[in-house]
């Protein structure tokens, strides 16, 4: 087996190959307020109180609250937001389920609303314009804020609207899907899609707070729950192999929506992401590891048509392709690749990609935001629990994987 390459300059791009294996989460501390790693402070709460993590970004630091019944606790938001007008951005699926609860929690404080159509195919500039119209009608100025109540699509659209309205207004993320609670609501990435590719129009805009109410997972369709698990599994693969082992054992409980298991998975995922965001807010280094499977997955989403594959499903397919590429480079063994496929399949996720064609895959991957000097940089696995971002790989390995998986 060829030796694993050390981190160093990427001959293809001159950029530094990045691999950060030591981003493992650890057990919750027994001492309140104990630091658990760079950029993350776990606040140990009393029983039945939310768990709160704080992402350390200096004067733009913000809390992530995780627990049941949090939409009925407006104090969590009011402490982090200005006191001007509020606009709730949600969609036609979430609004009837949770908008009345949010309104009741805020009592007399007026909440304007913008209810968008549901689905990835609506993550467009045209839909974004609807949010701008609502912001104007509600007279949301810089003393106001946006509340994003929904999954990843709502969070991304609302976040981009907040980033660009009057050159930036405050936003709080209220994620209602597992995928949004463990990934898209945290870290400040906002965007809409373009026909040429996913998330090509966007900005970094950190929220004032993230409030993940576990109760919202009770109404989540099974397919959406499974899609969220793809992002959870990702954290184990890129830097927390202990968590990966726990996921393999706990998968039946997670699929059965065991509240304790879900709470732990969300907290551990957010803790892993918080460290990387604190180290690299704008994705010039280790944060890019969070894109495991995404370069391949985004190509599949775009080629098939947005909404045909859920984002988490496409990430699962991309993760398999990243593992297969890593194996062809001699970094993973056959047993490792089989383990990756097995844990994804155990979550009810697809592991066989659609045949979009090699040429189409190359065309779409060339628009990936990690491309440097015309070279597609990939997140690959040196081992399970250790990932690398690099363009220094044998093109024949990528070509062989594309031919086998999507050709």
- Please spell the DSSP secondary structure of 258-319, one letter per residue: -HHHHHHHHHHHHHHHHHHHHH-TTSSSGGGGGGTTHHHHHHHHHHH-TTSS-HHHHHHHHH
In angstroms, the CA 5 to CA 350 distance is 31
Per-residue HEC secondary structure of 226-262 comes to HHHHHHHHHHHHHHCHHHHHHHHHHHHHHHCCCHHHH
242 is catalytic: no
Count of residues in the chain = 407
Check 283, 301, 313, 324 and give the catalytic one. Answer: 283
311 is catalytic: yes
**With 0-12 CB in 10 A as exposed, 13-18 as middle and 19+ as buried, what is 314?**
buried
Check 287, 328, 341, 370 and give the catalytic one. Answer: 287
Check 24, 198, 298, 328 and give the catalytic one. Answer: 298
Which of 370-394 are b and which e, b meaning 16 or more Cβ less than 10 Å from the residue's Cβ? beeeebbbbbbbbbbbbbbbbbbbe
Check 267, 291, 301, 386 and give the catalytic one. Answer: 291
141 is catalytic: no
273 is catalytic: yes
Q: What is the largest CA-CA distance in the chain?
A: 67
Report the alpha-carbon angle 328-396-198, nearest 5: 90
123 is catalytic: no
Check 268, 294, 369, 382 and give the catalytic one. Answer: 294
In angstroms, the CA 329 to CA 131 distance is 46
167 is catalytic: yes
Check 65, 123, 226, 231 and give the catalytic one. Answer: 231
In angstroms, the CA 40 to CA 280 distance is 13
Cβ proximity of 380 and 393 under 8 Å:
yes
Q: Which of 262, 249, 252 is nearest to 220 (CA)?
A: 262
Q: Which of 151, 161, 162 is nearest to 127 (CA)?
A: 161
Check 19, 226, 311, 382 and give the catalytic one. Answer: 311
Check 189, 328, 341, 370 and give the catalytic one. Answer: 189
298 is catalytic: yes
382 is catalytic: no
Q: Which of 148, 131, 290, 151 is nearest to 208 (CA)?
A: 148
Cβ proximity of 272 and 54 under 8 Å:
no
Check 205, 273, 328, 382 and give the catalytic one. Answer: 273
248 is catalytic: no
Cβ proximity of 329 and 394 under 8 Å:
yes
253 is catalytic: no
Residues labelled as active-site residues? 167, 189, 231, 273, 283, 287, 291, 294, 298, 311
């Amino acid at each position: 087996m060829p030796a694993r390459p050390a981190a160093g300059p990427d001959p293809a791009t001159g950029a530094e190959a990045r691999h950060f294996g030591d981003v493992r989460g650890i057990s919750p501390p027994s001492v309140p307020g104990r630091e658990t790693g760079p950029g993350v402070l776990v606040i140990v709460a009393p029983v039945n109180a939310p768990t709160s993590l704080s992402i350390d970004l200096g004067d733009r630091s913000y809390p992530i609250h995780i627990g049941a019944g949090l939409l009925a606790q407006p104090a969590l938001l009011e402490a982090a937001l200005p006191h001007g007008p509020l606009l709730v951005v949600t969609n036609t699926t979430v609004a009837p389920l949770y908008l009345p609860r949010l309104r009741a929690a805020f009592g007399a404080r007026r909440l304007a609303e913008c209810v968008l159509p549901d689905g990835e195919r609506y993550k467009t500039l045209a839909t974004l314009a609807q949010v701008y119209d609502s912001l104007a009608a509600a007279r949301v100025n810089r003393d106001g804020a946006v509340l994003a109540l929904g999954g990843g699509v709502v969070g991304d659209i609302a976040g981009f609207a907040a980033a660009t309205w009057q050159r930036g207004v405050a936003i709080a993320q209220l994620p209602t899907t597992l995928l949004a609670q463990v990934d898209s609501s945290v870290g400040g990435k906002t965007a809409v899609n373009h026909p040429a590719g996913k998330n090509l129009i966007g900005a970094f805009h950190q929220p004032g707070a993230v409030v993940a109410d576990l109760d919202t997972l009770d109404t989540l369709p099974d397919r959406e729950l499974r899609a969220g698990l793809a992002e959870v599994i990702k954290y184990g693969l890129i830097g927390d192999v202990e968590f990966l082992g726990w996921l393999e054992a706990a998968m039946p409980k997670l699929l059965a929506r065991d509240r304790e298991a879900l709470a732990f998975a969300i907290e551990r995922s957010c803790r892993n992401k918080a460290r990387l965001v604190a180290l690299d807010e704008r994705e010039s280094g280790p944060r890019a590891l969070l894109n495991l499977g995404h370069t391949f997955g985004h190509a599949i989403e775009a080629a098939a048509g947005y909404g045909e594959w859920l984002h988490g499903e496409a990430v699962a397919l991309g993760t398999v392709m990243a593992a297969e590429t890593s194996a062809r480079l001699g970094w993973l063994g056959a047993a490792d690749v089989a383990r990756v496929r097995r844990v994804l399949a155990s979550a009810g996720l697809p592991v066989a990609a659609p045949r979009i064609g090699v040429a189409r895959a190359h065309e779409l991957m060339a628009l990936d935001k990690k491309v440097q000097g015309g070279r597609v940089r990939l997140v690959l696995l040196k081992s399970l629990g250790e990932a690398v971002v690099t363009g220094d790989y044998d093109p024949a390995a990528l070509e062989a994987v594309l031919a086998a998986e999507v050709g």
